[in-house]
Chains A and B, each alone.
Chain A
Amino acid sequence: MQIRFEKKLEPSRKMLFATPILAVILTMILGAIVFSILGYDGLGAVREIFLTPLTNSLKWQDLAVKAAPLIIIGVGLSIGYRANVWNIGAEGQYIAGGLAATGMALLTHNMSGWYLLPLMGIAGMLGGMAWVFLPALLRTKLKVNEILTSLMLTYVAIQLLNYLIFGPWKSPTSFGQPQTVLFNDWQILPYIIKGTIVQAGAPIAVLIAIMAWLIMSKSVFGFQVRTVGSAPNAARYGGFSENKTIWLVLLISGGLAGLAGMLEVAGPFNRMVPQFPAGYGFTAIIVAFLGRLHPIGVLIAGVVLAITFVGGEVAQTTIGLPNAAVGLFQAMMLFLLLAGDVLVRYNIKIIRARRA
């Protein structure tokens, strides 16, 4: 017996919009079943992870804090994925951006002025871009697959982070803790809502998503990215260079991941610490897909994934769910989404084996 996938001529548009929602609902149902079998309160786990963050207004600010980096990174990745460029090392670019911003902060530690944060932002973006430089070069010059190179560089970034905070950047006043000094007041993101923990990262994320939407739908660059992703030969015929496009989308996704790193280090952390790599770069891959590679979709998907992060923490304390449960839910969501996509785009035919 053989199973064959035949591409549908025109996938249903309704289903393309419906699959992300279906994937989330199915994740809840399957998650409840799986955790019940594992001996936890399955329904409770789903309620705590998916609903409590929404119903409990105290958690809303947590959502904003967690969603911001996911959205910023996810928007960058979705632009690259549109062009068929598969940067999955955003975590490394996020760390590199955070490190570059930290470096800038340490360099300017005894200065003051409004310009310090923009400087750190630029440093963060450049750091993220530096981390895609090698994958972009290898891809465009030698056709080396960027999936592997970008992923592998993530581990290099983690090692670099550890080296720096255990070594040259270690704060002299931290009693041996591997962390940098606290940034000065000019180097910390302002709070935008008084009395909350919501900092400038959240509005920046929304702004970036809207700008990306405009650019992708209205500009020649957005058109170029879509063309290169859909039909490279037609792109070349239309006068678009594939290599230039690869460079641009990698630099954008790297730069945005780096910016997210800067916003994290100058925001919630205020210093560089070993806990800095929180997996945002990997989760943002799910965000990009769940958002259908559309900037506004990514904005929504970023909030959905933030819910699972915040809810995961809730579930840990209330019903003792292990930390890994969140990862499981997220992975299930991506898996179901991709599987749903296959069903929407392909007809599946089962063919009986022909006798030779």
Chain B
Amino acid sequence: MWDFIGTKLNDFITFTGFACGEWSNYIMILVGIFFIWLAVKKDFEPLLLIPIGFGIILGNIPFKSVGLEIGLYEDNAVLNFFYSGVKDGWYPPLIFLGIGAMTDFTALLANPKLLLVGGAAQFGIFGAYMIALLLGFEPNQAAGIAIIGGADGPTAIFLSSKLSPNLMGAIAVCAYSYMALVPVIQPFFMKMLTTRKERVIHMKPARQVSQTERIVFPIVGLLMTAMIIPSGLPLLGMLFFGNLLKESTKTTRLAKTAGSALNDIVVMLLGLTVGCSTQASEFLTADTIKIFILGAFAFAIATVSGVLFVKFMNLFLREGKKLNPLIGNAGVSAVPMAARISQNMGVKYDKHNFLLMHAMGPNVAGVIGSAIAAGALLGFLG
């Protein structure tokens, strides 16, 4: 009997995580703990970094695959079921539904030229695409990586799941990490590219926007974008649908659910499964390091192009109608973090200069812009 117990215990020990683990698993577990620390202690995007951090730990617990259907990539496993939302790309559109239901586009409608600022910041995506090609990535991989420059996690996941699924884990973690680091990355470039005089420009107060305009926006917005770029339909369709639920004022219950409970559920599952997908064997590669470097470039280029584009627009705008270049950084779709940075910078140089409302325009335009850019890349390469 003791022999039997000894054999079984010996077998059991070979199945434990300690016996199956490699040093790379422990590194990734430490990375997961670091993400959770960043979220809890430094308040960096806790809603995303806590699920992702925990997912990293979960996905890197080593085990012997003997058909127990427990692993992320094993058919019929619960985690695999959750992962289908990432793999098949249906979590990102649901998040866009929530974003649409929560986003107020009035700042943009009051001053529609801010749409163009949101477009200019998307150059971060294509700048990073060119650098990625230089680093030797295939065009489809380069596109998946470059979308990090849109500063939009769901869009990055959506596009990489379609174009470069093997890099999706690294791309998603990189996109969310840099989104959390927006307050660290952007102010340097904003300060470097603007003069003191430009930073204290007071923008013209926004006009009132009627209810009809707000209802028309999601319908016309969908038609004008999705008709040109149908490959962006899942993201754009859900974004504008969510916004219509909100603005119609007749479906408040639906908008509330899309923007709160449903969105929270999807964010939890998305974060957790994206974290799980960063298994050491897939994640600890030279490509991941390159992706993180490219991500930093993408964010920097997006910020620079947004700020420079506002300065360029100012060349054609008459006095009194000029834009404060500090809102240019908000062209990336990190809502509302990027707009908050514009506000903080504005107030820093002039305590009476409140840019938050003005910066929300390019910020929400950035959401639309990055979804269109993802659609364009998918259309060309998918």
A and B bind: no
A: residues with CB less than 8 A from B are: none
